[in-house]
Each structure stands twice: as structure tokens, then as C-alpha cells.
Chain A
Amino acid sequence: MESNRIEYLLGRYEEGETTLAEEKELREYFSQKEIPEHLEAYALLFKFQAHESKAVYTEDKVLKLESKNYRFAWTSIAAVIIVALGIFYFNQSQPSLTTSEMSAVNDQEQALEKTKQTLKMVSAMMNEGTADLVYLQEFNKTKNQIIELN
């Protein structure tokens, strides 16, 4: 009688008509040892279902990832603070330098003197530089000789 009911349930099972409770009944029936031979295929199928429901997700990467996220967040905040401080520092220090220089030469005559001095220095340097150009004339001489030969 029981096997009649099981076969009836299996028919409905294959049509997708069984309820969860009926499927549970089938699963329980097939979990026992003695199964009629013609139903062995079903036994395997239900064993497979039980077997497959045992796989577990063991990784706890999720939590690790979340804490990693926080670490990233704090480094980015630190980086922003450093950059902000850097910009703040440079913005402050540059104008203070230029104003101190400006204040040193606020007198007109002094400024003129200073300019003259620097210009003189520049021209002296230039002359020093051009003095070395004499050597180049030697090159020109030999070059001209070659051109004449041709």
C-alpha cells in the first residue's frame, strides 16, 4: 500500500504537482535502505538532492573585505588631509617671501642702485663668456683654409 502511494506521489512529482510536504515524504521514504529495484533511479535522485544541499559557503572574506574598506577609507582621509595641509603651507609661505623682498627695496634710489649693480654683474659675466669665443675664431681660420683649398 505504501509503495502505491509512493508511486502516485512520484507521478505527481514528475508533473511538478507535488507540494513541499509531499516532496518531504518522498525524500524520507527514499532515505531508508530498502528500496524496490524499479525505484532505484529515484532513490539516487533524492540522495543527490540531500547531498547537494550540504555544500556550505565557508569563506569569511566578506568580513575581511569590509574591514579592508574601512582601512582604505582612513588612508584616503589621511591623504586628503596631507594634501590640504601641503597646499595650505605653500600658499602661505610663498607670499610671505616675496613681500619681505619687496620691503627691502622700497626706496627708489636704492632700487636703481641695485638694478645697476645687477646689470653690471650681468654684463661682466657676458664679457667673460664672449672672451672664450676667441677660440672659435681659430676654428673659422682653419675652415676658411679648407674652403680656399677647394
Chain B
Amino acid sequence: MGNEMIEVPLAGTAIANQEVFAETLQSLAALDKQVVVVTSDSRGSGKLVPFGKKYPAQIVEVGIAEQNLVGMAAGLASTGKKVFAVSPACFLTARALEQIKNDVAYSNNPVKLVGISAGVSYGALGSTHHSLHDFAVLRAIHNITIIAPADGFETAQAVKQVAALSQPFYLRFGKKPMPLLDMEDAIPFEIGKGRVVREGDDIALIATGETVYPALQAAHKLAREYHIEATVVSMHTIKPLDEELLAQLAQKCKAILTVEEHSVYGGLGEACAAWLLKNRYHKAFDLMGIPDEYTVTGSQTEIFNHYGISEQGIAHRALALLRV
């Protein structure tokens, strides 16, 4: 499944998901004038400056006003435009939450909400700029599909697929260059279906977004040093959850460990735990994410390392779960 190639990631291929998003959107805009991006002074961090220069008639700037960003995006989308509303995830999903709930989800205006620099991408800029709540709040709102792609392939696929669908989405991107999980693009991307990027029977590592890569690194370490074989899943779609895959993993593996760049409350881990318990899969289970605190100061990588979202940290947690 291409997992061998991952061990030495090619630095030249690593590219930030939000950069891939911007490039993909540009290619879509070239073909379809109804593709519109709405920004809140966020085109720089969203890598959308070239988009704005090339397609000035397809970019709407509202200034730093996230509520209006989402409200206007809803209005635009109600007329049939394919609208991507782009803003840092922290502001988009907190400041404009009521607009997301009412104007997008409840009114069923098919806006593609795009949270950029998500999770702890902003690192040392601190908690005002972190979005560790977005999965939780959006999961509790009906009629939004939540997607956190892991790499450039998933990102490009997600952007293309959501553009063609007339329903609300939340896409979550980070700004760290990410290597491809599967250099051959052999594993298809389908909304609502987790991508199994490595197979193994001992433990399932279910990760999402930028934590899939360290989970994959941890799986290689477990195999190399402990002869433990892990399945690694990029659970890019947080909602609706791929329940079929969860059932398969629960039947196949001895333990399940989830990893996410999100509060341990209300995200992927709790979603998996609830489904597994409800369906009587009483497995060894643990979830990794950011604990219920304001994070330590540091870069995204330093914060990840601090909370064990790393090759070493995930491998250790897996060993503890398996009581090795």
C-alpha cells in the first residue's frame, strides 16, 4: 500500500494543504465562473493572492468581519454560486458560528467553509489563534460535512469533490508542508470513507489531518522496533464518520488509538469511542489530541511533540494500550 516509501519522505514533495487548496481552487475557477472565493483579509495566509490577481471577478473581500463573511457567502451560494468562504479556522468557526449554524447549515446554503491555519498551525501566536474546538462545535450542527485532509492528494480531491456538491461543507487545512501519504495515489479519496494507508492487525491508528503523517511514522517505528503491525487510517471525513470502516477495524485489530489536532473533547476520538461502545465493540481504546488546557507555547511541531503527537509519542501510547 505504498507505506515503504513514507519512511524517507521526499522533502521536495511536501506542500502545505492550504497551498494545494488554493492551487486547486484556481484550476476550478478557470473552468467555472460560478466558483467564487470570499475572504476576510485572509487571502495572504490562504495563499489566494495569485487567485485574486488572476480571477479578480471571482474573489469577494469583506475585510476582517467573519460574521459578514459567512452571511454574504450564504447569500451568494443561495443564488447557485459555488462559494468557498476562507478564513482562519479559529475565527471562522467561533466568531461566525451562528452564521454557520443558521445561514449555512439550517438554511441549507451550500457554502464550502474553509478553515485555514487550523488546529495549532499558528503555534506560538497562542490560543486566540488556535482552533481546537471546530470539530466539536460543527459536529453538533446538523447538515455540515466536516473534512480534514492529510496531504496534498486528499486536499486536491476534497476541493474538487465538494465543489461539485450542492451542500454545506467545512474543510480544515493547515499550513505546514505535508508529504504525500501514498506517493502513487493508489488509494482513492472518497468523502465519508477513511483512507487505509497502512495495513496491520495489532492496532488501528485512526488519525486525521496533519496528525496522519506522524501516526504513519509511528506505525513504521512499531513494526521496526517492536514487530507490531498497525493499520493507519486517514479519517479525513470527521462527519459523517466511516462507520463501516470502524467496524472492520474493531473486528480486525486488538486496540484502537485515535489521533487528532483538536481538543480531546468532542472530536474524532470521542466520535469513534461513542460509535464503538454503542455498537458493543469493547476494545482497548485511547484517544490522543490536545488536553483540556491552553497549550504550551511553541511551534506546531513543538506543541505536537509536547503532547505526544509525534512518531515517538504515538508509538509509546500504542505500546501502553497494547500493554507491551
Real complex partners, A and B?
A: no
CB within 8 Å of A: which residues of B? none
CB within 8 Å of B: which residues of A? none
